[in-house]
Amino acid sequence: MSGWIEDLPIAANAALFLGAAVVVWISGTRLSRLADAIARKTGIGQATIGVLLLGGVTSLPEIAVAGSAALAGNGPLAVNNLLGGFTMQVAILPLADAVFRRGALTRAVPDPVVLLQGTMGVVLMALVVAAIAVGDRAVLGAGLWSWAIFAVFLVALRLLSKAESRLNWEVVGEPPSEELPDVETPRFTTRGLILRTVAVAAAIFVAGWVLSSTAETLAESTGLGQSFFGAVFVAVATSLPEVSTVVAAIRLKRYVMAVSDILGTNLFDIALILVVDLAYAGPAVLNEMGNFSILAAVLGILVTAIYVVGLLERRDPAVAGVGYDSIAVAVVYLGGIALLFTLR
């Protein structure tokens, strides 16, 4: 955590937190529109844009927080932030489903690339659980498991980059997809769109770092354990970019892009464990984790798997317009937070 932020009075930290939240929200909303414009201008699919652009950009706050925590000698806090963020970001989808309110959101996402994203997220989290359970050994400045997880992440990116045109699945027996609205495309060149996207990404990076730093200061007086704090409070703060981009994408009726943003961000977040390990001055960072982190990772696997089931089944009934899968994820997430609190 930044020393000058820690030295500020509580009121100043609260004002910084709220100001950064506003910047993140506006930037995230703008990012969704820019991503939609880039997708239509270049012909790149919504799922690919979701994982490569939205997923990468909205992971920037996690990069800032995880890197600074590891450099400060708090590698376990950084990893718990990433694991908690993984689950927290999937828990954003019930909110998106509540905005959608036309039955289960997963019925409106007939794209096998999104299924591949969710499955690869489960694979990466399973590797994290295995690493914590059996232990790790440092090689070239990081644990062997950390290197392996990053290698699988690169394989996942390669699979996803080629999957857009190669997965020839076809959804049958469903009503036609809802017609996309005629959204006005910003009148910029592709280069102009990219430059504006870079500017928005920079705003998200800086504001996300301020969010996480002030959130840590505001929560320190509560007496909550450091692991619980990293997995819940910091994870919520750094997930605000995903909330704004997903809600904006849902309102644009870019449902594939919205879900792909979440699942894509999660792939990037788990890959950041290698960055944490390299920046951490202690032993292989996954050796420092325990039962708390295993439970946090298992929760991430569980909530993702629930949505993968919903994406496969695609006929989920709903309550008040919200799908059963979203309700299940919300219940599992809240129950998981309660369990994590007992292990803090």
* pLDDT at res. 178: 47
pLDDT of residue 240: 73
Which residue pairs from 126-132 have beta carbons closer than 8 angstroms and sit at least 24 positions apart in sequence?
A: 126/301, 127/152, 128/83, 128/270, 128/273, 128/286, 128/293, 128/297, 129/294, 129/297, 129/298, 129/301, 131/286, 132/286, 132/289, 132/290, 132/293, 132/294, 132/297
Residues in the chain: 344
- Tens of pLDDT, residues 48-57: 666 666 667 7
CA-to-CA distance for 53 and 62, rounded, in angstroms?
15
Q: Which tens digit of pLDDT belongs to each residue from 192-236? A: 888 888 888 888 788 877 776 776 666 665 555 555 655 566 666
- Cβ atoms within 10 Å of 6's Cβ, excluding its own: 13
Other Cβ atoms closer than 10 A to 3? 7
Question: Domains in the chain, please, with CATH?
Answer: 8-178+187-343 (1.20.1420.30)
Least confident of 81-90, 157-166, 282-291: 157-166
> Model confidence over 79-136: pLDDT tens digits?
888 898 889 889 888 888 887 777 778 887 877 888 899 999 999 999 999 999 999 9
Whole-structure pTM over 0.75, yes or no? yes
Round to the nearest angstrom and report the end-to-end CA distance of the chain: 20
Using an 8 Å Cβ cutoff, are 294 and 76 in contact? Answer: no
The average pLDDT across 130-152 equals 93
Region 251-265 average pLDDT? 82
Residues near 280 by Cβ (< 8 Å), separated by ≥ 6? 70, 73, 75, 78
Q: What is the mean pLDDT of residues 280-289?
A: 89
- The answer, yes or no, to whether residue 180 has pLDDT greater than 60, is no
Look-up of token digits 């996690």: 62
CB 284 within 8 A of CB 271: no
Tell me if 98 sits within 8 A of 258, measured CB to CB: no
- Contacts made by residues 22-25, CB under 8 angstroms, sequence distance 24+: 23/203, 23/207, 24/61, 24/203, 24/204, 24/207, 24/208, 24/211, 24/240, 24/241, 24/244, 25/240, 25/243, 25/244
Predicted local confidence at residue 127, as pLDDT: 97
